[in-house]
């Protein structure tokens, strides 16, 4: 019986640096395996010795494990899936946990053209905002697919904390989830349950886009199966602030995110962004998360504010939204074109 050769098998040889794969007989190739062979300019040769050329990797990934050996069906930093824009793209978790300062923006337009367009602008990531816009998972998946050919990662802010939204958004290939309205340790417990595979949580597995529609689901049998599950929890409520010492101990969360608008509203000082009550709270959250070894992001209304936050020690900023940025550019452009006459 002929062996079945999958895309994961192709990538395992690619990570080892093998360009010509030697096999005793031609295997049965899946469609995704054929696509990977063509895109990587590799071939299967029956009855000949393999030619081991170290394949170049633009970002340092794709060379196998520390010994140089290929790791079939590996999960972790070397895992590459259809959800990545390129075959050699780092897992987003490696970026989140690095010292890199990250800049993104919210996407409120429910269409893949917008994510594809903004994905080429130079942001490290975009956050598809399904909390405050009319976006169902089917639309969000198309928007993530629009990012496929760009270097930009795709985060998704889900509408509410539920199993359907958490597991659903992960299954359609979100590089990370932004979870709004975290309030209590009970919320944290439910989030862990919904987002992590057993035995840590109760998330189910299936042939979703995340696993190349089933072609790479075998990766769940080995390694850290929760490695690429990136959860960013929003700190935007008084309850969360009051329980921050416990919340930051969450072992499955690498980054937190402050929503100053909602936080100021919950504190009864909506929009008073210079109010010491709010600014002192933000400083305290920065100190507490840093002490716990967690990264921290924050919403910024414009690029100047984003620069200020990054320079003051924050690790990530989400600069307003694509529509707000467009609005600001149009308003400034019209004012200039009219010679400030209006």
- Determine the pLDDT at residue 221: 84
- Determine the pLDDT at residue 79: 40
The per-residue DSSP string of 292-324 comes to TT-EEEEEESSHHHHHHHHHTT-SEEEEEEHHH
Domain 92-330 has CATH 3.20.20.60: yes
- What integer is the mean pLDDT of 61-66? 34
pLDDT higher than 60, residue 8: yes
Q: What are the pLDDT digits (tens) for 74-116?
A: 333 334 445 544 445 788 999 999 999 999 999 999 999 999 9
- What integer is the mean pLDDT of 135-163? 96
| Phi, psi angle pair for 183, to nearest 5° | -125, -45
The domain locations on the chain are 1-72, 92-330
Give the helix ranges, DSSP H, for 147-225: 163-171, 185-195
Return contacts of 49-58, CB within 8 angstroms, 24+ apart.
49/22, 50/18, 50/20, 50/21, 50/22, 51/18, 51/19, 51/20, 52/16, 52/17, 52/18, 52/19, 53/17, 53/18, 53/19, 54/17, 55/14, 55/15, 55/17, 55/19, 57/88, 58/86, 58/88
Strand partners, 4: 28
Give the helix ranges, DSSP H, for 62-154: 92-96, 112-119, 137-146
Averaged confidence pLDDT in the chain: 87
Q: What are the pLDDT digits (tens) for 316-330?
A: 999 999 999 999 999
Higher per-residue confidence, 246 vs 72: 246
Higher per-residue confidence, 69 vs 98: 98
pLDDT higher than 50, residue 59: no
| Of residues 328, 331, 325, 248, the one with CA closest to residue 284 | 248
Q: What are the pLDDT digits (tens) for 255-282?
A: 999 999 999 999 999 999 999 999 999 9
- Determine the pLDDT at residue 342: 61
Across the chain, which distance is largest between two alpha carbons, in Å?
79
The SS3 of residue 135 is coil
Q: Which residue has the tokens 């962004």?
A: 273
pLDDT higher than 50, residue 58: no
pLDDT higher than 70, residue 55: no
pLDDT higher than 60, residue 60: no
Number of H helices, E strands in the chain: 13, 13
Contact 264, 308 (CB under 8 A): no
Name the pLDDT band for 139 (thresholds 50, 70, 90).
very high
* Helices 163-171, 185-195: inter-axial angle, 10-degree rounding: 40
- Determine the pLDDT at residue 325: 97
- Determine the pLDDT at residue 41: 85
Q: What are the pLDDT digits (tens) for 181-227?
A: 999 999 999 999 999 999 999 999 999 999 999 988 888 887 788 98
- Burial state string for 38-69 with b = 16 or more CB within 10 A and e = fewer than 16: eebebebeeeeeeeeeebeeeeebbbbeeeee
Q: What are the pLDDT digits (tens) for 286-315?
A: 999 999 999 999 999 999 999 999 999 999
């Amino acid at each position: 019986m002929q062996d079945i050769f999958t895309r994961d098998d192709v990538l395992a040889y690619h990570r080892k640096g093998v360009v010509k794969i030697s096999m005793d007989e031609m295997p049965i190739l899946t469609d995704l395996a054929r696509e990977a062979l063509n895109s990587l300019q590799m071939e299967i040769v029956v009855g000949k010795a393999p030619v081991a050329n170290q394949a170049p990797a633009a970002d340092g990934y794709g060379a196998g494990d520390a010994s140089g050996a290929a790791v079939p069906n590996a999960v972790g930093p070397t895992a590459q899936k259809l959800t990545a824009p390129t075959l050699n793209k780092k897992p987003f978790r490696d970026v989140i946990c690095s010292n890199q300062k990250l800049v993104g923006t919210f996407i409120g337009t429910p269409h893949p053209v917008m994510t594809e367009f903004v994905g080429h602008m130079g942001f490290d990531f975009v956050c598809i905002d399904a909390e405050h816009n009319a976006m169902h998972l089917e639309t969000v998946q198309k928007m993530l697919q629009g990012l496929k050919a760009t270097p930009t990662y795709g985060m998704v802010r889900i509408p509410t904390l539920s199993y359907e939204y958490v597991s659903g958004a992960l299954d359609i290939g979100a590089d990370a989830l932004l979870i709004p309205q975290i309030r209590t340790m009970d919320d944290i417990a439910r989030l862990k349950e919904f987002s992590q595979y057993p035995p840590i949580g109760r998330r189910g597995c299936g042939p979703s886009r995340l696993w190349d529609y089933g072609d790479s689901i075998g990766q769940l049998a080995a390694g850290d199966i929760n490695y690429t599950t990136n959860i960013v929890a929003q700190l935007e409520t008084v309850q969360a602030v009051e329980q921050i010492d416990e919340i930051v101990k969450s072992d499955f969360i690498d980054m937190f995110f402050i929503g100053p608008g909602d936080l100021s509203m919950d504190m009864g000082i909506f929009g008073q962004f210079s109010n010491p009550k709010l600014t002192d709270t933000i400083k305290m959250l920065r100190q507490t998360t840093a002490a716990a070894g967690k990264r921290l992001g924050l919403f910024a209304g414009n690029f100047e504010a984003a620069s200020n936050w990054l320079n003051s020690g924050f690790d990530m900023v989400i600069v307003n939204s694509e529509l707000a940025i467009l609005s600001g550019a149009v308003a400034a452009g019209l004012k200039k074109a009219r010679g400030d006459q209006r």
